[in-house]
Structure 1
């Protein structure tokens, strides 16, 4: 099992180790890291809700608290659910390893390497965006102090936290400690999102590679028919390769479905919290834009909106990619000259055609299907909720 994790999931392993979630290494240090990080995340949410004790609970105040607290809640949801399902991840990786161990054709191994490169590129791009955003946020938070030093202005700047909190201490005195806690929670949470998200996406990209191998096996099996080189020996080889194509196609569907089913509750909670958080943060942006006195506070909700939309797009894009690869198997079966094969081979081909008669999709709770159409629906729903909230003000 260490071979597949070292060869195909090495970057994901480093990211998951950073937050204590790598399923193959759960030492006392990793458990302590998990508990420590989870404590930082939960206290960051708690100290946002404690603001209700010392402030008037107006509608605007409640929406401002929920816009940030719900976003931080998605960090905790992903963190806890992935930790609970760590054993399932090990089992799914073992199944993927079993499928790869059965590959003998060099072309099939080349397909695996191609999709592995795609998964690694995706992981590197997402991780790079995350690192760049960290530096951008740090510079943005300190921009007023930097300008004051450059221009040598001896003017005291009003210090504001990016979100509303209540720590029951002197906020001015302990400003940098509070800011450190909030930043630590945000960066830990984003590391959790990147580590878990890229791990799940990498796995689904590899299942797309299995669909591609199924298409390749079908084309390779029917090559003898297209060359009119039909014999008893070729018929037996053709039948065996078609059986292998059907089997790996079944494995690809099973692995992708199992992965989504293990995290169905997590994905459903993330969708609900993400849509509400996106709507509220859109409202905060437009409210701050209309109030020019608070224009410098627009950065943080803008970052939350960007992250929410990017995450929704990546998740639905991968779901759409799985559906498209399954459809490609159907197109391959339809285009090859299967009607020229022996009758028992035709029956297997018809079985594949019948199975692919309906789109293979990755659904969540029977309500959401991973697709670009679903992404557009979620964004549209968020904008609609924002419009309703904004119109009532």
Structure 2
């Protein structure tokens, strides 16, 4: 038997524990931890938006503030979505574990193991990318100190990569502001990685369930071919088991995604604003490398998230189609009439495509990912032409 929490979700569990979002063992200490981290993230967003109060609201200023503020708003949306859907995450893991507990075939267990290991590899790669992002982000702010050491300059020249207004003496409390800034960045990155990878791990296991359904269909026809009509009853049972696990995979994926509809809607909207504004910052590059690095990091993070999430959703749809392709390809026409009728119903069901719907309106697929990327570039083009005018 496979224990998903310890074998396939162990890295996700650690990441969610760090940011206080693991849905189990929610003690008072964990709640305080959660409030502290979420509060740090929200206050950093607020102190970016307060620059509109004290500074002249030119178009350049607006784009610069929104390009970073909406990046952290994306983090906050993801954090809040898992905060309010803790019961959904817990229930989803229980449902998936119950399905896995019913699996006894060694080949089927190997399929679960294969997709679980794939999800773990992707999680580790994304975690390394997040560490690289945070390292570069910190390096941007400590570079003036390093530059002063090698050039023997007495004065430091800081570039405001992220504009903030704390309504205090920022030179006097520079170290506290620095801690707040980097803590918010670290919390945000951990949030987007932890929440994104656990959803990815769930979807990879759904792909595994679809693969098992296809395997059971193949086994059902093989039983008939090897044993003749004597094994008709056993073949019927295999088909029923295939249909059951296929239905459970579809119900499980719909249950998981439907509870995040509102969060995905606001995440897509905030992401579009962030992408467009950061593209505008890159187009407005004036020679300061530091001012170019941060928008590039932000764009790479959002585009990776956009394409990886849609690629995983596309995999779910492709695995569902694989089940029906398997039914078409097996020699079902040589089966008894009773089994042919069962397979006919399956083939009719396969005429309707299965997609994951994000935000209630967005069909998750690679085509949709490309469409969203194109939309962000279109918005940037409109904004840039307005700025030029």
TM-score, length-normalised on structure 2? 0.96
Question: Partners of 1:260 and 1:67 in 2: how far apart?
Answer: 28
Question: Partners of 1:326 and 1:16 in 2: how far apart?
Answer: 29
Question: Partners of 1:14 and 1:263 in 2: how far apart?
Answer: 22
Check the 8 A contact 2:78/2:263 in 1, yes or no.
Answer: yes
Report the equivalent of 2:258.
261
Render the CA deviation track for 1:290-319: whole Å, top value 9, x for unaligned. x23x44322212111111111101110111
Question: Partners of 1:106 and 1:2 in 2: how far apart?
Answer: 11
Alignment of structure 1 residues 342-361 onto 2, 5 Å: 342-361=336-355
Deviation at 1:155, TM superposition (A): 3.7
Alignment of structure 1 residues 27-46 onto 2, 5 Å: 27-46=27-46
Report the equivalent of 2:379.
385
Find out whether 1:302 has 2:296 as its counterpart: yes
Check the 8 A contact 1:226/1:337 in 2, yes or no.
Answer: no
**The residue matched to 2:237 in structure 1 has which SS?**
helix
**The residue matched to 2:50 in structure 1 has which SS?**
helix
Render the CA deviation track for 1:267-302: whole Å, top value 9, x for unaligned. 111111001110011101111x2x23x443222121
**The residue matched to 2:94 in structure 1 has which SS?**
helix
Question: Partners of 1:365 and 1:36 in 2: how far apart?
Answer: 28
Deviation at 1:224, TM superposition (A): 2.9
Q: How many residues align?
A: 387
Report the equivalent of 2:67.
67
Check the 8 A contact 1:75/1:189 in 2, yes or no.
Answer: yes
Deviation at 1:162, TM superposition (A): 2.1
Report the equivalent of 1:375.
369
Residues 199, 371 of structure 1: CA spacing in aligned structure 2 closer, same or farther, 3 A cutoff?
A: same
Deviation at 1:2, TM superposition (A): 10
Alignment of structure 1 residues 200-211 onto 2, 5 Å: 200-211=199-210
Question: Partners of 1:134 and 1:270 in 2: how far apart?
Answer: 22
**Structure 1: which 5+ residue stretches go unaligned?**
none
Question: Partners of 2:338 and 2:102 in 1: how far apart?
Answer: 24
Question: Partners of 1:220 and 1:97 in 2: how far apart?
Answer: 24
Report the equivalent of 1:87.
87
Residues 67, 378 of structure 1: CA spacing in aligned structure 2 closer, same or farther, 3 A cutoff?
A: same
Q: Given the alignment, which residue of 266, 277, 281 partners 2:278?
A: 281
Report the aligned-residue RMSD. 1.5
**The residue matched to 1:142 in structure 2 has which SS?**
helix
Residues 2, 345 of structure 1: CA spacing in aligned structure 2 closer, same or farther, 3 A cutoff?
A: closer
Q: Given the alignment, which residue of 334, 343, 358 partners 2:328?
A: 334
**The residue matched to 1:231 in structure 2 has which SS?**
helix
**The residue matched to 2:228 in structure 1 has which SS?**
coil
Deviation at 1:92, TM superposition (A): 1.2
Find out whether 1:196 has 2:195 as its counterpart: yes
**Structure 2: which 5+ residue stretches go unaligned?**
none
Question: Partners of 2:137 and 2:290 in 1: how far apart?
Answer: 13
Question: Partners of 1:184 and 1:4 in 2: how far apart?
Answer: 31
Report the equivalent of 2:156.
157
Residues 128, 365 of structure 1: CA spacing in aligned structure 2 closer, same or farther, 3 A cutoff?
A: closer
Deviation at 1:366, TM superposition (A): 4.2
Which 4+ stretches in 1 moved above 6 angstroms? none
Question: Partners of 1:206 and 1:70 in 2: how far apart?
Answer: 32
Find out whether 1:322 has 2:316 as its counterpart: yes
Question: Partners of 1:195 and 1:25 in 2: how far apart?
Answer: 18
Find out whether 1:243 has 2:237 as its counterpart: no
Check the 8 A contact 1:23/1:90 in 2, yes or no.
Answer: yes
